[in-house]
Homo-oligomer: A and B are copies of this chain.
């Protein structure tokens, strides 16, 4: 474990997600990142906490939206309020990262930023911090844009992939596990994913980035010049009483675009650091089941669960009591007002349930 904080390093935690995949626990007003879905602490609390050996709270920035602002204050009360950047509207990752970069560069022109989603799980925190440190070291000394790529364990079709240049002779950073990126690939179909896995030079795109704030702003200036101008407007009014109005107007005009598509796929100096630290994006209840420790009968119980002849069930009883009799391979999630009962392996269809609830305007249950 690295025990010293790096003063020029900033965390930028992106917390605008409105995932519906964890219905009935995730709701419009409390998406996944605010839930304690795996283990203790909510996902955003754990995201901030695991970085603390490297990055203290005063260097931790959260980018979120109005709906979730209050939950951030509640769950991360030790963060300075000025570190919570509240987007008036969501415009995908490029504006979000651009704003955070301009905020950091304004107070620390040499600042390096570690950009992370708020809702991922990392099981080997020591190794994760080591990888982040490697990336930070490279970013401090160069203008490189670094991504953290995950060693894939199976042909996943739910992630984008990063192909890296694996010829070590021409890569002075190979010893550190840092490689030039050849291409970014969209979410593949299963055949393509299998080819990616077999090739050995594809990694999962984790959505984690490391770079100097000045480096990414320079690339934004080149590849997204409109956004760059808009960020200059924000910076100019940062200390003004009119800032809120300027923010609303400027964000309203921004184009919705991802940092991957808007910058990473076009820029030079793009590197990937290979990581293997028990990463998961925790994308479905089935993934949660996989990550949960079961008892002797294969059951996972959270809360008060009474069973008879039942095995291999995942049961989150919330504040109720749940009794199961003679059932197996179920995922059961109970909240104050809703109950999900899904066969294991089928939980991706939760999205269709939520879509139905939305179509029927059963808004209390969204």
Q: Footprint of B on A, CB under 8 Å?
A: 23-24, 304, 306, 308-309, 317, 320-327, 330, 332, 334, 337-343, 345-347, 349-350, 352-353, 356-357, 362, 365
Asked whether, in the complex, the Cβ of A362 is within 8 Å of the Cβ of B304, the reply is yes
Asked whether, in the complex, the Cβ of B341 is within 8 Å of the Cβ of A330, the reply is yes
Asked whether, in the complex, the Cβ of B349 is within 8 Å of the Cβ of A322, the reply is no
Asked whether, in the complex, the Cβ of A337 is within 8 Å of the Cβ of B324, the reply is no
Complex: A357 Cα to B308 Cα, angstroms: 12
Asked whether, in the complex, the Cβ of A339 is within 8 Å of the Cβ of B346, the reply is no
Complex: A346 Cα to B309 Cα, angstroms: 10
Asked whether, in the complex, the Cβ of B332 is within 8 Å of the Cβ of A339, the reply is yes
Complex: A330 Cα to B347 Cα, angstroms: 17
- Additional A-B contact list (7), CB under 8 Å, known A321-B365, A323-B342: A306-B357, A308-B349, A308-B352, A320-B338, A323-B350, A325-B346, A325-B353
> Contacts of A345 on B, CB cut-off 8 Å?
326
> Contacts of A341 on B, CB cut-off 8 Å?
322-325, 327, 330, 332, 341
> Contacts of A323 on B, CB cut-off 8 Å?
23-24, 338-342, 350, 353
Contact partner of A322 (CB less than 8 A), chosen from B306, B317, B339, B356, is: B339
For A342, the closest partner residue in chain B by CB is B325
Complex: A343 Cα to B338 Cα, angstroms: 20
Asked whether, in the complex, the Cβ of A343 is within 8 Å of the Cβ of B327, the reply is yes
> Contacts of A365 on B, CB cut-off 8 Å?
304, 321
> Contacts of A352 on B, CB cut-off 8 Å?
308
Contact partner of A320 (CB less than 8 A), chosen from B317, B337, B343, is: B337
Complex: A64 Cα to B238 Cα, angstroms: 74
Complex: A172 Cα to B148 Cα, angstroms: 95
Complex: A326 Cα to B347 Cα, angstroms: 9
Asked whether, in the complex, the Cβ of A346 is within 8 Å of the Cβ of B326, the reply is yes
Least Cβ–Cβ distance between A289 and chain B, in angstroms: 13
Asked whether, in the complex, the Cβ of B339 is within 8 Å of the Cβ of A325, the reply is no
Q: List 22 A-B contacts (CB under 8 A).
A: A304-B362, A304-B365, A306-B353, A306-B356, A308-B346, A308-B353, A309-B349, A321-B357, A322-B338, A323-B340, A323-B350, A323-B353, A324-B342, A325-B340, A325-B341, A325-B353, A326-B342, A326-B345, A326-B346, A327-B341, A327-B343, A330-B341
> Contacts of A338 on B, CB cut-off 8 Å?
320-323
Complex: A23 Cα to B304 Cα, angstroms: 16
